[in-house]
Amino acid sequence: MSITIQNITKRFGNFVALDGIDLEIPTGELVALLGPSGCGKTTLLRIIAGMETADGGEVLFSGQEATHLHARDRNVGFVFQHYALFRHMTVFENVAFGLRVKPRKERPGNAEIRKRVMDLLALVQLDWLADRYPSQLSGGQRQRIALARALAVEPKVLLLDEPFGALDTKVRKELRRWLRRLHDEMHISSVFVTHDQEEALEVADRVVVMNHGRIEQIGSPDEVYSNPASPFVYQFLGNVNVFRSRVHGAWAEVGRGESAGDGETLAFVRPHEIDIEHAPVANGLEAQVQDVHPIGPVVRVELAHASELIEVELTRERADGLGLAKGQHVWLRPRQVKVFAAPEAAAYPLEEGGSGI
């Protein structure tokens, strides 16, 4: 089932949670709504589920108007960050719930319910926990039961609100790969909300980056990472160096300092898109090595240019080849620079180095 969102707005008092959202989610895609907390991503998910009412705009399921459809009639599976398992029911009864509350004529018999629940529990590999209570399960197990419960009613859309947010890193990584496989097997449309860029980039077919109730960019994980549409996206997805620069014709003179007037822009360069050379290079930037940190497979080099800090990431081989030492003078050559006009960029507070992965 495809989901179409048209010009959805939502306010909470004076706070604008969603400001004219348009989004198309095609059938069978796994879409991530990515953004910092308070950007409206969860509100959007809850509006799709029918748990929140939009102030304006429309939601369409397969082209059919669904804006005023009650949550119970939308046939969506919803997975909560904190699982929301029915605490007084066994795992089996939790998963069976959606089948047991069906109207009498649609309700399967007990044997059929038993079979379907056990099949789902086998799918999430927790059939051995059928008689336990939610409180006796670990976080990862609870979330898989919550997923099985949502799948029991054979939803056309699966909505997940920070599904792995409450889990520790190792379980989180395993579960998201597992979710990806599950999504591919079930042939349903899935939308999940996350503030974790790594999670969004790894799992989703498409990433919707949101900020302040608006969509900043929609694209494949590769697109949003390597071709960010706005300074916000650049900074939210991965580390970045920001340079104040001036535009001379077609290229930007990179370098921080005293530039003013019409031509003022901000240039964004990712740390791994900068090369370090010992010899002067054309369009290069002279800098002094401040520190060298080998971190696993990469080496992070901190350099100073006119008292500003620049971060560069090199492969270990490249770093070994260069043999960098503190205090050395080197030349930086950016392989890819993205330039935004300053007023647009100035709308966002620039944190040095952006947000880290």
In the bound complex, what is the minimum distance in angstroms from residue 193's beta carbon to another protein? 15
In the bound complex, what is the minimum distance in angstroms from residue 46's beta carbon to another protein? 9
| 176: DSSP letter | H
In the bound complex, what is the minimum distance in angstroms from residue 49's beta carbon to another protein? 6
Q: Which of residues 100-119 bind another protein (CB under 8 A)?
A: 101-102
Residues binding another protein: number (CB under 8 A):
44
Kind of pairing, strands 285-295 and 329-334? antiparallel
Question: Residues 18, 32, 85, 203: which binds another protein (CB under 8 A)?
Answer: 85
Number of residues written out for the chain: 357
| Closest to 145 measured CA to CA, from 209, 89, 64 | 89
Question: Residues 1, 23, 42, 77: which binds another protein (CB under 8 A)?
Answer: 77
**Distance separating alpha carbons of residues 264 and 262, to the nearest angstrom:** 6
Whether 191 contacts 79, CB under 8 Å: no
Question: Residues 150, 208, 210, 332: which binds another protein (CB under 8 A)?
Answer: 150
Binding pattern to another protein, positions 37-56, x when CB under 8 A?
------------xxx-----
Q: Name 246's bridge partners.
A: 253, 264
Q: 3-state DSSP call for residue 304?
A: strand
Question: Residues 141, 230, 241, 245: which binds another protein (CB under 8 A)?
Answer: 141
In the bound complex, what is the minimum distance in angstroms from residue 144's beta carbon to another protein? 8
Residue 193 binds another protein (CB under 8 A): no
152 vs 330 by CB, closer to another protein: 152
Residue 140 binds another protein (CB under 8 A): yes
| Closest to 78 measured CA to CA, from 153, 140, 136 | 153
112 vs 344 by CB, closer to another protein: 112
Question: Residues 7, 53, 110, 125: which binds another protein (CB under 8 A)?
Answer: 125
Question: Residues 25, 152, 201, 289: which binds another protein (CB under 8 A)?
Answer: 152
Residues with Cβ within 8 Å of 72's Cβ and at least 6 positions away in sequence, in order, are: none
**Distance separating alpha carbons of residues 322 and 303, to the nearest angstrom:** 14
Q: Which two tokens stand for residue 84?
A: 């929301």
* Region of 24-32, 167-175, 204-212, 251-259 interacting with another protein (CB under 8 A): 167-175
Sheet containing 264-269: order of strands: 251-254, 241-248, 264-269, 338-341
Residue that the structure tokens 């160096």 belong to: 241
**Distance separating alpha carbons of residues 280 and 112, to the nearest angstrom:** 75
Q: Which of residues 261-290 bind another protein (CB under 8 A)?
A: none
Q: Enumerate binding residues for another protein (CB under 8 A).
A: 49-51, 71-78, 80, 82, 84-88, 97-98, 101-102, 125, 133, 135-141, 144, 146, 149-150, 152-153, 167-168, 170-171, 174-175, 178
